[in-house]
Amino acid sequence: MGTSETKFRFETTDTVKLSDVDFLENKGLPFTMSDSGEPFWGSLTSVAIAAGATLLAVILFFTVRTN
């Protein structure tokens, strides 16, 4: 007979102070451990660059098209 294996994965993202990481993580529970993610300003910069490039493309499209 075959074996039945059930897998469950739940993933979430949150932002906490770097000084609170040691308090929140428990080395006995591996699911509480995580890699430190990208800093807040790094992700905000990426979004700002993408939004600016999109806005610039739209403005150039309409100004070049009308000439």
State how far the Cα of 44 lies from the Cα of 49, in Å rounded to an integer. Answer: 9
Q: Per-residue pLDDT tens for 38-67?
A: 676 777 888 999 999 999 999 999 998 876
Domain boundaries of the chain, sorted by first residue: 18-66
Work out whether the CA dihedral 20, 18, 41, 38 comes out positive or negative. negative
Supply the pTM of this predicted model: 0.43
Q: Per-residue pLDDT tens for 11-33?
A: 777 777 878 888 888 888 877 77
